[in-house]
Chain A
Amino acid sequence: MSRIDDRFHELKAAGRKAFIPFLTAGDPDLDFTAQALKALDEEGATFCEIGIPYSDPIADGPVIQASYSRALDQKIKLDNIFAMTATIGQEIQAPLITMVSYAIIYKRGLKQYIQDAQKSGIDGAIVPDLPVEEAGPFSALCKEADFSLIQLITPTTPADRVEKILATTSGFLYYVSVTGITGERKTLPTDLADRVKRLQEKTTLPICVGFGIHQPEHVKTVSAVADGVIVGSAFVKRVATAKTDPTAALTDIREYTQRMVAGLSSK
């Protein structure tokens, strides 16, 4: 049982849903990221997703891509990020999950990445460019180490692949609400609830929904059917001004988190 599993058990017992914000590590610098993680934790984030900046993120929209560029411009290295999470991880309640390209994991070494991440207080990984066909070796190592490998299912995933993906997923399932890249959307697909319900029939894993979500109203709708809500670009956008005024950005993040968390449904 990983810390992520434990947390979902607690939520379920309490009839609550998960709120999962996303931040890019090192945008605009790692000190700010640490402060922001603390703020998110205090305002009720269940887990925090940390984007490991990558030079060529093909699944990300302009907001997250620009944020990765800002972080990489600071010459931030993976080991600096791990050092930051190792410290902050001890001060906050919310388990940390990295969103990381397989290019970075492969370069570090599959086993080494898991070891280094775990030593640094990280409980799982979302690897957007590692589809189930390629996930075998990494998935086996994650299982061995009790490191959650959170896999994605999208609206274009054919039914026969769903089973395969579920078999290699741990922690929770990441359901991508839309066909496309990360980023805010005015409206969410109307059949989202049906799609999530159909997935729930196939698995006991918690299902969290991400991509496009940025309003309390979205949180309300999505958390009524899913086990958690993931919000990325909307947070990253709020961090974009942090370089000139970090205090204002932190206040903004706090207020936004409060409004979004208030939208969570309970049952």
Chain B
Amino acid sequence: MATYQLNVNGERREVTVDPSTPLLWVLREELNMTGTKYGCGISACGACTVHVAGVATRSCMLPVSLVGERPVVTIEAIGKDPVGRAVQDAWVEKDVVQCGYCQSGQIMSAVALLKHTPKPTDTNIEESMGGNICRCGTYVRIREAIKTAAQRLQ
């Protein structure tokens, strides 16, 4: 066991866990932040996506020992960010969500996309969101919502 000082959503959080513990389980089990979901556990589905130093990161495969000083932002705080707010509003407007399990990861990846590519093409969206799987098949609405958010942010 080791103690880590994490910067999560702008707050300093101390956890004492095994160094190999994935960030996902630190968030969910130690910090009770259950908005970030466990999907596949091997970085294949994107449900566990959070931002680490601004990079959309698969928290299920990131040992907490490798987080270091880098700030972590989760779905619980992304709405405080202007881009995050626009994406969440567009998600509601387009009624994207069906079962909802993958959507926190979808939103985190969409925000990362729009922060780097304010006017994404269909190809940009397909490539950037290609690692986020939705079993309900909401991909068409996800694309519409990303374009709506992009327009609102112009």
Q: Do A and B bind each other?
A: no
